[in-house]
Amino acid sequence: MSNDYTQMWKELGLDLTAHDALLQVLGKGYQDIFLSQSDRPTGMDYFNFVMSEVHGLRIKELVDGKKEGHKIVGSYCVFVPEEIVRAADATLVGLCAGADFATEEVEKVLPRNTCALIKSAFGFKLGKVCPYLESTDMIVGENTCDGKKKSYEVLDTLVPNLYVMDLPQMKSTEGRAVLRAEYDKFKKAIEDLTGVTIDAPRLKKGIEIVNNKRKAVHRLSELRKADPVPISGLDALLINQVFFYDDPTRFTDSVNKICDELEVRVREGKGVRPKGSPRMLLSGCPMAVPNWKLPWVIETSGAVIVGEESCVGERGTRNLTDDSAATMDELMEAIVDRYFKIDCAVFTPNADRLEHVKEMSAAYKADGVIHYGLQFCQPYQIESLPVEKALENSGVPTLRVDTDYSMEDVEQIKTRVEAFVERIKMSACSACRCS
């Protein structure tokens, strides 16, 4: 880290010893998993820097921004419309966490069989190690899965600024009305928080900023369709993770810059893996920093990840918000239209997601799909069985991996992933009759 941020962390109320320990683990993990990769695009230097300053410079920016009146809104879900936050000159930051922390404390307030993502979020609060969470002016929870919905009732006793947004369970007319009403309420809450009245020009500007982030990520995704693939899945995942933390405009510029570089690579037929390497699509639960276990296992098992059907990935970023309308009401409708398309497994039925996995698998020329289910995440775990069945029936090899944030099962997962990669190689061989 470039500076000493101890005073800032202290003022945010962090537990400095615990926080130091976390940073050390994070730094070591980043070194081992990311910096050890070969042939990384030079544009990744920016993201290395972002990660090295993820609790430092970025927090300083946010804290400095607060002094100038820019509020910080924390969120645990891609259903929280960043456009509205941005329209009020506030910043939306992701609060999902990807590492076990203070588990003993967490299990005093949540059942043991709660998914790792929720437990981790609570651990970062109870362990006082998340400067994002501690700097928020508002934390937004949302009624997606049972685990989160009911945990927010507990979180509400731990933080002073929780705002809960309801979500529908079905994509019906009434369900859409629930979402519209909630987004209207949320807009009002953001106006109350910031003192800014969100009018159509402001909202259009908010939409533009967020759409630009998405467009940059779409450009990156497009480039990953090449064979050889010009960027590793780990690096692409990292970019998708930084999506939730960074200044949006700077993020957009940095992604576009790396895309310029990747375009040259693609033109020159250069990649991070040899042409013909087994290509994997990751599908399922989101992966928050520093949850890199499964992608790391996959990419050290002879395969390369070409896409993420995930909230931290294409499920979260695929659709743009239409900004062509002129009135607030129309723009709000456009926002509802955009978010109502998100095919999270909390919806029932959720046939769109299955179609999307198939589409992605074809578009990214994936040789196989690895479905990542967080243990105790019932929506994705239950949905993973029909997803697997449908993919296998259409000739796409699929592996279901259910895991948590512990490292205990790494070897076991590695064995399964390696066998899966072998299966794909064998089937490719038998198809080309080279054997």
In the bound complex, what is the minimum distance in angstroms from residue 118's beta carbon to a second copy?
Answer: 9
Quick count: other Cβ atoms within 10 Å of Cβ 113? 10
Residue 151 or 321 having the CB closest to a second copy: 151
If binding is defined by CB under 8 A, does position 383 make contact with a second copy?
Answer: yes
Question: CB of 90: closest distance to a second copy in angstroms?
Answer: 25
Of 234, 305, 285, the closest CA to residue 29 belongs to 234
> Does the N-terminal peptide bond of residue 228 adopt cis geometry, omega within 30 degrees of 0?
yes
Residue placing its CB nearer to a second copy in the complex, 114 or 232: 114
On whether the CB atoms of residues 288 and 312 are closer than 8 A, the answer is: yes
Single-letter residue type at 155: L
Instruction: Give whole-number Cα distances, 397 to 275, 282, 319, 355, in Å.
Output: 20, 12, 27, 16
Q: Residue 162, interface with a second copy (CB under 8 A)?
A: no
Residue 376 makes contact with a second copy by CB under 8 A? yes
Out of 81, 127, 147, 206, which residue is the one contacting a second copy (CB under 8 A)? 147
Query: String of b and e for 224-253 (b: at least 16 CB within 10 Å)?
Result: bebbbbbbbbbbbbbbbbbbbbbebeebbe
**Interface stretch with a second copy, choices 173-181, 227-235, 332-340, 362-370 (CB under 8 A):** 173-181
Between helices 16-30 and 44-52, what is the axis angle to 10°?
A: 160
Size of the site for a second copy (CB under 8 A): 47
Distance, in Å, from the CA atom of 155 to the CA atom of 241, rounded to the nearest integer, reads 23
- Residue 147 C-beta: closest distance to a second copy, Å: 5
CB of 160 to a second copy, least distance (A): 16
Binding residues for a second copy restricted to 97-116, rule: CB under 8 A = 109-111, 113-114
Q: Pick from 75, 91, 135, 151 the residue near a second copy by CB under 8 A.
A: 151
Which SS3 state, helix, strand or coil, does residue 148 take?
helix
Per-residue contact track with a second copy, 316 to 355, x per CB under 8 A? -----------------------------xx-xxx-----
> Looking only at residues 179 through 198 of this chain, which bind a second copy when binding is defined by CB under 8 A?
181-182
Residue 3 vs residues 10, 50, 211, 340: alpha-carbon distances, Å = 15, 14, 33, 42
Q: Judged by CB, which is closer to a second copy: 319, or 375? A: 375
Cβ 47 to a second copy, closest distance in Å?
A: 34
Question: Quick one: tokens of 336?
Answer: 């509802």
Which window, 15-23, 149-157, 361-369, 403-411, contacts a second copy (CB under 8 A)?
A: 149-157
User: Per 3-state DSSP, what percentage of the chain is helix, strand, and coil (rounded to 5)?
Assistant: 55, 10, 35
Q: Which residues pair with 162 in a beta bridge?
A: 139
Binding mask 391-410 for a second copy (x = CB under 8 A): -----------x--------
Which residues of the shown chain bind a second copy in the complex (CB under 8 A)? 109-111, 113-114, 143, 145-147, 149-154, 156, 164, 166-170, 172-175, 177-178, 181-182, 345-346, 348-350, 373, 375-376, 378-379, 381-386, 402
